[in-house]
Amino acid sequence: MKHALAINGGAKSCEVSWPSWPMWDDLERQALNAVLESGKWWYGENVQRFERDFAAFQDARYSVSASSGTAAQEITLAALGIGPGDEVIVPPYTFIATASAVMRVGATPVFADILPHNMCMDPADAARKITPHTRAIMPVHLGGYIADLDALGALCNEHHLALVEDACHSWGGKWKGKGTGAIGRMGVFSFQVSKNIASAEGGIVLTDDADLAEIVRSISNCGRTTGGAWYDHVRIGTNARLTEFQAAILNAQLTRLEAHTLRREANGRVLNEGLRQIPGIMIGQEDPRITRRAYHLYPIRLDLEKLGVTRERFVAALNAEGVPASNGYTRPLYKLGVFVNPPEVANRRGIEHDYTQDYCPVCEQICHDTVWLFHTLLLADIEAMHDVVSAVRKVIEHADELQG
């Protein structure tokens, strides 16, 4: 019985108590209290400092903070002047915001498939999806992997499109030495509570273009302009401002981001080496152009046919061994109700695309066979990574005991 799967009554292979998330200490506690006591709760030195420091951390010139990653995406697309009649190419393997932000500005998301080895947008499929209406390409750096920014950047240059990075999984990521989110025309990050730095809600837009930064700022601040009168509103804006409380937390979180990123990366390498040896699973390929990898999610693909199990049973068995894992995205975005429910479709104005005809085979397969490990697991110590590898190996070797 000693080697039986934990789900079948055997001993667990992993007794690690995983780091909990979010993480905080006296730094957050004191910073929050200082904001509270100052009475300056809004648009003060914490927001300014975070905008400056995060932009520097990712190698961008300008930044505008926002109330969420979703809001940051919407104001980015609005600032680029994208609207009704325009198309934006996005991947279908991502959080809904990547596509819903496009629809919120009245434009049409067009899905390009992802690549099997990195789960990021396939530049060749993106090229096939370009039409005279395309205005931007918005790849997602899935799980902290980085989409092929060379190929996508070249495509954008050739067709005069804006490259917008959805870097909401890529804090600290570097492509050929430069920070993600600062490589495309614009980049967007989220600080929602599950993300690698967190303030409950929050987001930021990065760009090297001063004019665009000013427009994003204006849209995020009710259409005001820098230096303008308080009740002068020059364009259609919204309120997407970050508070001093959130910025105070983010300033504290940012002091740990570098060390956390390096630790996740070192642990990620240990996982890569161990898991690569195990038959029946597939992990992402290394790309030497990714000079620092953020590791928000650690995806593992299962050869379900060979293993003869369902993904759900595999996840349950892995959880029982003491390894937190989940299914991740189980459907390509274009299969979600917002794209295919008749009442939603009827409510859409200007978006004529029939999403029931969409089919991205790689994404469909990955939605079916992929398991995610969460980034907090990568903050444990190196020995815990060996336990994870042993747990995965054990479940794989005993996969026949998971049938039925």
Query: Which residues sit at the interface with ligand PLP, rule CB under 6 A?
Result: 68-70, 94-95, 97-98, 140, 166, 168-169, 190, 192, 203
Query: Angle of helix 69-79 relative to helix 97-104, nearest 10 degrees?
Result: 40
| Least distance in angstroms from the C-beta of 306 to ligand PLP | 30
| Least distance in angstroms from the C-beta of 219 to ligand PLP | 16
- The secondary structure of 239-273, three-state, reads ECCCEHHHHHHHHHHHHHHHHHHHHHHHHHHHHHH
Both tokens of residue 316? 């349950």
- Residues 188 and 71: their CA atoms lie apart, in Å, by 10
User: Nearest CA to 96 among 342, 348, 339, 379?
Assistant: 339
| Least distance in angstroms from the C-beta of 186 to ligand PLP | 14
The residue with its CB nearest to ligand PLP is 69
The values of phi and psi at residue 384, to 5°, are: -60, -30
- Residues 186 and 191: their CA atoms lie apart, in Å, by 17
DSSP notation for 55-106: HHHTT-SEEEEES-HHHHHHHHHHHTT--TT-EEEE-SSS-THHHHHHHHTT
* The amino acid at 231: Y
Cis peptide bond upstream of 116, omega within 30: no
Question: Are the beta carbons of 166 and 319 closer than 8 angstroms?
Answer: no
Q: Which is nearer to ligand PLP, 200 or 382 (CB)?
A: 200
- Residues 234 and 47: their CA atoms lie apart, in Å, by 23
| Least distance in angstroms from the C-beta of 70 to ligand PLP | 3
Strands in 290-292's sheet, in edge-to-edge order, are 178-179, 174-175, 290-292
| Least distance in angstroms from the C-beta of 52 to ligand PLP | 21
| Least distance in angstroms from the C-beta of 194 to ligand PLP | 7
| Least distance in angstroms from the C-beta of 171 to ligand PLP | 11
